[in-house]
Amino acid sequence: MRNVKVIFETSLGLRIMGILTKKQQKLYNSFYESTHENDYLDNKTEILVGLAASMAMNCAPCTNYYLKMSKEMSINKGEIFEVLAKVMAVSAGQKRLQVEEVIKNNEIDIESY
């Protein structure tokens, strides 16, 4: 079966366009739903991890979903801001390491600038 362009509903209630077969859609949806069946994370932690991942991956619809879930879970704005700060810190660190790697791999003498 060849892939066809389809629009489908995700468990987030978002309309997403993708190039997936119905089988692939079903498998993805099953996988996504399984991430809500935690053995080790409590509900609040799951929502905060989802929020952090959404922010880090620049997924605005996902961030919106997790912010709404945060409100339903009585997660306060201080907790949300601490998640945002952690995402910002990790992102900034990754960019610093990226530039250091380019400098090293290309033998750039940054001190000569």
C-alpha to C-alpha distances, 79 to 63, 71, 75, 91, 112, nearest whole angstrom? 14, 11, 7, 18, 44
pLDDT at 7: 42
Q: Which residues pair with 7 in a beta bridge?
A: 17
The two beta strands, 15-19 and 5-9, are: antiparallel
pLDDT at 72: 96
pTM: 0.73
* Residuewise pLDDT in 10s, the chain (113 residues): 333 343 444 545 445 546 788 898 889 889 988 988 899 999 999 999 999 999 999 999 999 999 999 999 999 999 999 999 999 999 999 999 999 999 999 999 999 99
pLDDT at 70: 97
Angle between helices 77-105 and 43-56 (to 10 degrees): 40
Residue 8's H or E segment, with its range, is strand 5-9
Structure tokens at 64: 């919106």
